[in-house]
Amino acid sequence: MKILALVSGEYGIRHVANLRAHCPPGWSIETWKAPAAFPLIIDYPEDFLPPGFPPADLILSFAEHKAVAELLPDIAQLTGARGVVVAVDNEAWLPRGLARQLRGWLARMDVACATPKPLCSLTETDYKITRRERESYTSPVIAEFARYFGQPALHLTVDEVTRTVACAEVRRDAVCGCARHVAARLVGLPVDEVVERAGLAHHHFPCLASMVKLDDYNHDTLMHESGHLLQENLAEQLKPFKQARYFAPGTLSE
């Protein structure tokens, strides 16, 4: 698969580095650094684009400016891409209304578009757009990417005698590499500590999703939502190994 990644700063650079380090054999990843500044209205997109791009099957936008979204239809046409994934780890980079417009523009070109918010909510069939809403998509090229990178999927092997984690296998990493980082710190932990310690490791990575509180996430942040997705994956697997705790009520003093 040929991938073109659009970057504008350290956020995108770190994501591309993780993809290149852990992508399947046969994937190729080219990058294009977006301009640092844009006018309020882009009348001529070609003024901000190079004469050409290498052919691509999939475009990944890690750009930290909403104006780049307006360039994506032209970039898709120039590359021949059949799928576009735009990271929404900060709503300022792709506001909700612009995300809907972008999906519509690309759909008219027969190009699939996913706008996962946060980026690590992407699966092979859908992605989050609010805390309680997921948007489905149909795209073989995006689904192939999401087999390996997106919503973290760790598989835990638990030693039932010691009730500790014997192995933590990364079946799908976050695009930034956070899931791999967390998995390496779970082996040997008692099952009762795994979820909390995973949350701490996630924050210490550090997660680069926004800390701005959003109404459509119940006034929570995308960084916390990212951590919840990882912790939920682990908590579900650990249910059979949890021990119920009972508390005897105390007595009132005389």
Domain ranges within the chain, ordered by starting residue: 2-146, 153-240
Distance CA 227, CA 9 (A): 23
Cis amide bond preceding 206, omega within 30: yes
Residues 6 or more apart whose Cβ sits within 8 Å of residue 247: none
As a whole number, mean pLDDT of residues 103-131 equals: 97
Nearest CA to 28 out of 2, 4, 61 is that of: 2
pLDDT in tens, 71-110: 999 999 999 999 999 999 999 999 999 999 999 999 999 9
Q: Give the three-class secondary structure for 30.
A: strand
Which tokens belong to 194? 């795994």
Amino acid sitting at position 228: H
Q: 154 pLDDT exceeds 60? A: yes
As a whole number, mean pLDDT of residues 150-174 equals: 96
Distance CA 227, CA 184 (A): 16
Distance CA 96, CA 78 (A): 26
| pLDDT tier at 156, thresholds 50, 70, 90 | very high
Residue 249's pLDDT is what? 66
Distance CA 119, CA 190 (A): 30
Pairing of the two strands 153-159 and 164-172: antiparallel
Residue 252's pLDDT is what? 55
Q: What is the pTM of this model?
A: 0.91
Percent of the chain surpassing pLDDT 90: 83
Q: ∠199-62-136 over CA atoms, to 5°?
A: 75
Residue 151's pLDDT is what? 98
Fold observed for domain 2-146: Rossmann fold (3.40.50)
Distance CA 230, CA 178 (A): 9
Cis amide bond preceding 249, omega within 30: no
Q: 46 pLDDT exceeds 80? A: no
Q: 251 pLDDT exceeds 60? A: no
